[in-house]
Structure 1
Amino acid sequence: MKLRKVTAASAVTLALAVSVTACGGGKKNDDSSGGGKKIAIGIKYDQPGIGQQTPQGYTGFDVDVATYVAKKLGYSAKQIEWKQSKSADRETMLQRGDVDFIAASYSITPERQKKVDFAGPYLLAHQDVLIRADDSTIKSPSDLNKKKLCSVAGSTSAQNVHDKLAPKAQLQQYPTYSACLTGLQSKAIDALTTDDSILAGYAAQPQFKGKFKLGAFKMTNENYGIGVKKGSDLKAKINKALEEMVSDGSWKTAVEKNFGPANYKNEPAPKIGDIKS
């Protein structure tokens, strides 16, 4: 009889433990305020027109794409947990499971594909340079030789220029594109290089109107993809969502909304899996 009491008590304790574990598991998908699921999405916080954190919230083409994809996956805008994804941290964030996917001007490259999977591409951009509006010395990529060229840590842009087009360019790594822009304005650097879509966003900001210009060099093809953890089944689901975004006109609307003010000449929506070298 005594043994039965002990056994019954143990069973109750075990049941409570299982219940607590079940309620506490899956932290990423729990919403303590209402019990709803959450999705964590990595974006850039400092790229106007692409991904930017503002006092009013988050704006940009990548934000609109990610919000559309999340909706197709079953999440409302209120269920999205935005996380800053700096260029140098993206693969690590995916591998650790800090985010479910990343839409952060994330160019698909063979090296990155060894570490993570990509859905898309959903935008074809081109590497370019941003220079001061009164600079007449940089007219072609070769003119970047012996110039101070800025890009951000973890980005491939400046290294591409150095390796293939201007081997004597003086590479300058800054933590963010905003920091590069400040250096360009103060003449601490001569040119900022990254994707033309990102550069156009910066040049179009009211406070910089007329101060900078694009080189229009189109030095590389940059295939923007949505990064997911290696082997994740999200890849196929996101690809389907991206196809729907193009077919229902939402992709075009997002392009015009975010890039239109800068007169950015975008490429047509790429087909899923069609990566331009």
Structure 2
Amino acid sequence: MRRTGAALSIAALAAGLAACGGGGSYATVIEKVQGDNKIVVGTKWDQPSLGLKKGANPEGYDVDMAKAIVKELAGGKDVEIEWKEAPSKNREALLANGTVDIIFATYSITDERKTKVTFGGPYVLAHQDTMVRADDATITKATDLENKRICQAAGSNSYKRITDPPPDGKLGLPAKLVGASNYSECVQKLSGSNLDAVTTDDLILAGFAKQAGGNFKILGDPFTDEKYGIGLKKGDVKTCEAVNKAVAKLYQDGTAQKIWTTWFGDAKGLTAPTAPPPAEGCA
């Protein structure tokens, strides 16, 4: 029997979403979770309070949100999670090639990324801010970054919010970009006076500032909304819809708020979320 184009498309999607390392193949991640009771989750491994690998597995806000949401996908059952590192520059590739099933990694939802990834959530709203050395009195607000040395972390769009005008950017300021492989390296360069500032999401900065023990300060001058999404392979709408229901439930029963307080409750200048941000829709 000759297959139609639609049938071929369905077959291709099912093949593309085959289970990673599980006992069978599934068309969607939620089917894999419920069928094999296993999942491969990508997180950051170098971001304090969000995703930081200190032992066998990472720990942090994104990690705990991943655990809670995966458990909801499994109907309340515990799930065997294999953790994989998901650096900013590799996130789309890790989903596309099936190395990971789902990503929780400070993954801001953008229109450009939506062309490659199906996003669940967002599960929290961050805001881009700026971190400088504690003794720097020359930079007090984001617009002071004009002609300053700022970090360009591989795979991150944060620097564009400074250097590009709307709609893709925000401030349209000339700045000197200093490359780094990730935000850990950005912070090292800032500590060594090879940078004037690190500008990215306030949750990321809060984790590094806490780890540094007073060597840095965050300006408290947020100028964007960053919608942290849950990355899925493009086309996995079924899992996306289930993820959105899980996010809503975690806020309704207070779990999401407890996780946020665990990791950011003592951070200055951050406002605890009381409800999930509006879902983006599963495109």
Q: Where on the TM-score scale, by shorter chain, does this alignment land: which range?
A: 0.7 to 0.9
Instruction: State the 1:94 CA deviation.
Output: 1.1
Please tell me whether residue 241 in structure 1 is matched to residue 246 in structure 2: yes
**Which residue of the partner structure matches residue 115 of structure 1?**
116
Counterpart CA distance in 1 for 2:19 and 2:203 is 37
Equivalent residue for 1:269, pick from 247, 262, 275:
275
In the alignment, the residues of structure 2 paired with residue 221 and residue 40 of structure 1 have an alpha-carbon distance, to the nearest angstrom, of 28
1:179 corresponds in structure 2 to 185
Give yes or no for contact 2:162–2:172 (8 Å, CA) kept in 1: yes
Which residue matches 2:59? 59
- Correspondence 1:251 to 2:252: no
Distance 1:77 1:46, change over 3 A: farther
Return the alpha-carbon distance in structure 2 between the equivalents of residues 27 and 214 of structure 1.
40
Gap runs ≥5 in structure 1? 1-24
1:71–1:248 CA distance, 2 compared to 1 (3 A): same
Please show how residues 24-35 of structure 1 align to structure 2 within 5 Å. Answer: 26=19, 28-30=21-23
Correspondence for 1:197:
203
Residue 223 of structure 2 is aligned with which of 219, 226, 232?
A: 219
Measured after TM superposition, the shift of residue 261 of structure 1 is 2.8
Q: Kindly indicate which of the two structures has a greater share of residues assigned to helix.
A: 1
Provide, for residues 142-182 of structure 1, a one-character-per-residue CA deviation record: whole Å limited to 9, x for no partner: 21111110131110001111113252210112001111111
Q: 2:72 is aligned with what amino acid?
A: K
| Distance verdict in 2 for CA 1:188–1:271, change over 3 Å | closer
Q: CA deviation at 1:27?
A: 5.2
Amino acid at match of 2:21: K
Is this contact kept in 1: 2:106–2:228, CA < 8 A? yes
Pair 1:166–1:26, CA change in 2 (3 A): closer
Give 1:84's aligned residue.
85
- Indicate yes or no: 2:229 matched with 1:228: no
Deviates more, 1:149-158 or 1:71-80: 71-80
SS of 1:80's equivalent in the other structure is strand
For residues 235 and 40 of structure 1, the distance between their equivalents in structure 2, rounded to whole angstroms, comes to 16
Partner amino acid, structure 2, of 1:92: A
- For residues 199 and 124 of structure 2, what CA distance do their matches in structure 1 show? 18
Could you state the TM-score of these two structures normalised by the residue count of structure 2?
0.81
Q: By how many angstroms is 1:95 displaced?
A: 1.3
Displacement of 1:266 in angstroms is: 3.4
Sequence identity (%) = 41
Amino acid at match of 2:261: E
SS at match of 1:226: strand
* Structure 2 spans left out of the alignment, 5+ residues: 1-17, 25-34, 166-170
Tell which structure's C-alpha radius of gyration is larger. Answer: 1
TM-score, structure 1 as length reference: 0.83
Distance 2:152 2:275 in 1: 26
Runs ≥4 residues deviating over 6 A: none
Following superposition, the deviation at residue 267 of structure 1 comes to 4.0
C-alpha distance in structure 2 between counterparts of 1:227 and 1:27, whole Å: 15
Q: Aligned letter for 1:170?
A: K
Shift of 1:253: 0.3
Q: Is the 8 A contact 1:151 1:158 kept in 2?
A: yes
The 3-state SS of whatever aligns with 2:230 is strand
What secondary structure does 1:204 align onto?
A: helix
SS state at 2:89 partner: helix
Separation in structure 2 between the aligned mates of residue 62 and residue 26 of structure 1, nearest angstrom: 22
Structure 2 CA distance, aligned partners of 1:147 and 1:114? 33
